[in-house]
Amino acid sequence: MKHLLTACALSLALAAGSALAAQPSVSASVGLKSNGFFRGLSVTEDKPMMFGAVNYALPNGLYAFGKGNNIAGGGEVDLGGGLKRQIGRLNLDAGVISYNFSNRERIDEVYLSAGMGLVNAAFATNQSTHYLQVNAGHALRHDMGLAVHLGNTLPRNGGNAFLDAGLNLTKSFKTFNLAGEVVHSTAAQVGGTKVSVGISRDLKI
């Protein structure tokens, strides 16, 4: 995994070197929600989550991002980057992400995704799990969206696999965004159906 992450990082760096003169796009957001989920499970022990994110993208498809949020017992900072390409109607995305936790643990992950129209399928792998997911989204109108999700977590150490499903509704206003989410997980003991509502604001950079 370490060698694969290094190769991906070098590829991104070489591609970035040919695009330094391109005009980048930078965006950021902050928000608060009543529960924080990751792949169907609450990472905040059903307590509120504060979060923030910064995204940097070049016209040639290269991008980088950083995200931070609280989790149960501490905090988390995620750093990553990748490359997006469109071939005909097919949208491709490949990248790496590092999940860094306040207890000094770290999980490095490689992901690949392909989408067409309203549907997207993705695969991610890290030191402990593989993750498969299918997502579909639809704009109900210009300021409102609906998305559905189905995922499958597959432990690499022979543990029990489990499914997660989600339904997300978003509404944008002039100065803020609202979101509601329902998730269900089949994970033993910590699974079940849970709901979260949240508010976020896009920042000008």
Q: Residue 181 domain-assigned?
A: yes
Instruction: Please report the pLDDT score of residue 205 as a whole number.
Output: 80
pTM (two decimals) = 0.88
The rounded distance, in Å, linking the Cα atoms of 46 and 37 is: 9
The rounded distance, in Å, linking the Cα atoms of 166 and 92 is: 23
- Residue 4 CA: distances (Å) to CA of 97, 99, 127, 193: 12, 16, 12, 36
What 3 state SS string does 95-162 have?
EEEEEEECCCCEEEEEEEEEEECCEEEEEEECCCEEEEEEEEEEEEECCEEEEEEEEEEEECCCCCCE
Q: Residue 174 domain-assigned?
A: yes
Q: Residue 95 domain-assigned?
A: yes
Residue 150 lies in domain? 2-19+31-203
R_g of the chain computed on alpha carbons: 17
Question: Per-residue pLDDT for 79 more than 90?
Answer: yes
Residue 100, token pair as written in the block = 């860094």
Q: Residue 25 domain-assigned?
A: no
Q: Residue 38 domain-assigned?
A: yes
pLDDT digits over 92-107, tens only? 999 999 999 999 999 9
Q: Residue 107 domain-assigned?
A: yes
Q: Residue 165 domain-assigned?
A: yes
Q: Residue 54 domain-assigned?
A: yes
Number of domains observed in the structure of the chain: 1
pLDDT digits over 114-149, tens only? 999 999 999 999 999 999 999 999 999 899 999 999
- What band does 14 get if pLDDT is binned at 50, 70 and 90? very low
Percent of the chain having pLDDT more than 70? 89
Mean predicted confidence (pLDDT) in 33-42:
98
CATH number for the domain including 78? Answer: 2.40.160.40
